[in-house]
Structure 1
Amino acid sequence: MRSSKISEILFLFLKGLAMGSADIIPGVSGGTIALITGIYERFVFALESINIHFLYYFVLGFKDKTNFKKAKDSFFSIDFLFLIPLVLGIVCAFLTLANIIGFLLETIPTQTFAFFFGLIFASAFYVYYTHKKLFTRSSLLFIGLGILIGFLIVGLESIQLSHSLGMIFASGIISFCAMILPGLSGAFILLVLGQYEFLLSVLRDLTHFEFGMILFVFAYGFGGIIGLLGFSKVLSFLFSKYKSATIAFITGLMIGALRKPGMEIVTHPDDLLFTLISLCLGILLVTFFSVYELKKNHE
């Protein structure tokens, strides 16, 4: 029993590592990774379970001791066993893999984007296959809407904004909202806002134990937390009330988002065989996770 608990925590950490790695790449979403590894809905509801009510009740508890129990109940209603290893994996990816991802994007960009093209394409098919019983004729409308919005967003041109703490904070809110939505890339949103290269350099400084820009990390992280907690409540509401339409929209969003890696492949054609192998590896990775999750759900 204990070993199975440890392995579950380890797998969650590895899934977080994969999510964080994907979030570093413009055009790829950590939400997509959460979807294909079978943790997306739990991830959304776990984020939604985070609230500050326990702080409110804790303060009131100094006047009325019964509020201490409310504070305790509110605190332990948060899904920590799920969130802690997952978030640790995401943070570790940000801190340790930023240089590796940057190296891949600089040396073999076509093959890197081909891998993620295959991954996103297969993910969209997986979502459709596992939720097709939910889809109705009206679902086609939401799929089409998702395709259109995804296609338009990833086609946005970059704008140059200042690197002030306030702008980095706002960028954190917006990009983290995108990170948890399959099909939308938080890294790409940062690229559009003109903050991607700046924040990537800040991350690289941290990996070399240079802390001169640490305030920007706190500003981005704090904005990201606000974005995550706020948007997760919207998503949990949509999954609870309009699950069919939400899944259909997400499927369309992933298809539309293929424009970004697709354009990178077409714009920089290089070593066709290696590119095709990379694309197939992306598809195979999703297939592996899909089969694993489907088998686990039928046990």
Structure 2
Amino acid sequence: MLLDAGRGALIGTVEIIPGVSGGTVALIVGVYETLIASAGSLARGVATALADGVRGRGFARAGAHFAAVRWAVVLPVGVGMIIAVLVASAVLAPVIEAEPVASRALFAGLIIASLIVPIRMVGGRWRAREYGVAVLGAIAGFALTSLPHVDPLEPPLPVVALAAAFAVCALVVPGVSGSFLLLAVGMYAPTLAAVNERDLVYLGVFVLGAMIGLGLFVSVLQWLLEHRRRVMLATMTGLMIGSLRALWPWQDESGLQAPGGDLVPVVLLVLLGITAVGGVLLVEAAVLRRAAARLEAGGAASPDPRSDAAA
């Protein structure tokens, strides 16, 4: 139990850092497939309980979904994640507010290095189709991050729920950061603030949106990754590239600005972010190699663990 709580703390800590994927860390510490399967069962159980309760059909079907959840793993991991998010948010929020240029530079480095994940997961040589959808994704990402952001102090609650629903989908693919999705649509800072201020209304709506996202979108994404894997991952790559606009270090409410006199430290921070994610990816690669070696030694097939997790 303590080990799983420690795993959850690692996942929760990186989950609030844009560019570092909690899914990647979950894969590294060995709980990725369990969490994804359990989260899907939990979301389906809640949805089934609501639907069958209204229709007077009882809760037998919902109970079957709840029984499929690995509670012995999910609960301690969840507690560890919650504690880590609370602690890390309290540390990060004042830093981001005091040093916006430096924060965006570091986050940009994290995202740039993370691009290797969906690029690598496409598998094999990219074809014209993959390049085409990646370009379209980059254009869409740039356009979305060019839209006026919501009020950073009081975002509408429907926007909060929608942002949470999409951000939770990042759990499906290791390497894709949910925090980065929040950052790209201007919801990262208000979400951190809500955690630090214990804004229960905001957090309740956020959790509700995340549950809806798990129930509706994650299954669709899993299907797309199984049946349209190359196109889906190429699209994700393009979206991440286009969304880097949100992390241009020098910008204000009027738009993007030219680099200032702090060019050298900004470049160093970008390189630091690239190095940090590169280190995480190297550890992940080592874990995957060991897992493949164990499967081969046992006489079993050795598929890509990421493919199994996403299927």
In the superposition, relative to structure 1, how do residues 74 and 106 fare at CA in structure 2: closer, same or farther (>3 Å)?
A: closer
Q: Quote the Cα distance in structure 2 between the aligned partners of 1:111 and 1:289.
A: 21
In the superposition, relative to structure 1, how do residues 277 and 159 fare at CA in structure 2: closer, same or farther (>3 Å)?
A: closer
Q: Quote the Cα distance in structure 1 between the aligned partners of 2:261 and 2:236.
A: 31
Matches within 5 A, 1:23-62: 28=18, 33-34=21-22, 36-37=24-25, 39=27, 42=33, 45-50=37-42, 51-52=44-45, 55=49
Instruction: Please identify, of 37-46 and 225-234, the stretch whose mean Cα deviation from structure 2 is larger.
Output: 37-46
> Which residue is 1:173 aligned to?
161
Instruction: Please identify, of 6-15 and 50-59, the stretch whose mean Cα deviation from structure 2 is larger.
Output: 50-59
Which of 225, 230, 234 is 1:244 aligned to?
230
Instruction: Please identify, of 5-14 and 150-159, the stretch whose mean Cα deviation from structure 2 is larger.
Output: 5-14
**C-alpha deviation, 1:75, in angstroms:** 1.9
Contiguous gaps of at least 5 residues in structure 2: 171-175, 291-311
> Which residue is 2:308 aligned to?
none
Which of 114, 120, 125 is 1:123 aligned to?
114
For normalisation by structure 2, the TM-score amounts to: 0.70
Q: Quote the Cα distance in structure 2 between the aligned partners of 1:157 and 1:63.
A: 46
1:51-95: CA deviation from partner (whole Å, max 9, x where unpaired):
127748997xx999xx85x66543232354665455445544553
In the superposition, relative to structure 1, how do residues 229 and 89 fare at CA in structure 2: closer, same or farther (>3 Å)?
A: farther
Q: Quote the Cα distance in structure 2 between the aligned partners of 1:81 and 1:145.
A: 43
Q: Which amino acid aligns with 1:105?
A: I
In the superposition, relative to structure 1, how do residues 176 and 56 fare at CA in structure 2: closer, same or farther (>3 Å)?
A: closer
1:150-169: CA deviation from partner (whole Å, max 9, x where unpaired):
111111113559959xx41x
Q: Quote the Cα distance in structure 2 between the aligned partners of 1:48 and 1:71.
A: 12
Which of 249, 260, 264 is 1:269 aligned to?
260
**C-alpha deviation, 1:237, in angstroms:** 1.9
Which of 130, 151, 167 is 2:142 aligned to?
151
Which of 5, 8, 11 is 2:7 aligned to?
11
Matches within 5 A, 1:1-299: 7=3, 10-19=6-15, 21-22=16-17, 28=18, 33-34=21-22, 36-37=24-25, 39=27, 42=33, 45-50=37-42, 51-52=44-45, 55=49, 73-80=64-71, 83-84=74-75, 87-88=78-79, 90-133=81-124, 135-159=126-150, 167-168=156-157, 170-180=158-168, 181=170, 182=176, 185-191=181-187, 197=190, 200-206=192-198, 214-262=200-248, 264=250, 267=257, 269=260, 271-299=262-290
**C-alpha deviation, 1:242, in angstroms:** 1.1
In the superposition, relative to structure 1, how do residues 149 and 36 fare at CA in structure 2: closer, same or farther (>3 Å)?
A: farther
3-state SS of the aligned residue for 2:147? Answer: coil
**C-alpha deviation, 1:231, in angstroms:** 1.8
> Percent same amino acid at aligned positions?
18
Give the CA RMSD over aligned residues.
3.7
Query: How many equivalent pairs are there?
Result: 269
**C-alpha deviation, 1:284, in angstroms:** 1.0
3-state SS of the aligned residue for 2:248? Answer: helix
Q: Quote the Cα distance in structure 2 between the aligned partners of 1:285 and 1:132.
A: 24
3-state SS of the aligned residue for 1:97? Answer: helix
**C-alpha deviation, 1:44, in angstroms:** 5.2
In the superposition, relative to structure 1, how do residues 108 and 269 fare at CA in structure 2: closer, same or farther (>3 Å)?
A: farther
3-state SS of the aligned residue for 1:258? Answer: helix
Q: Quote the Cα distance in structure 1 between the aligned partners of 2:77 and 2:140.
A: 29
Q: Quote the Cα distance in structure 2 between the aligned partners of 1:56 and 1:177.
A: 18
For normalisation by structure 1, the TM-score amounts to: 0.73
Contiguous gaps of at least 5 residues in structure 1: 23-27, 207-212
Q: Quote the Cα distance in structure 2 between the aligned partners of 1:139 and 1:11.
A: 35
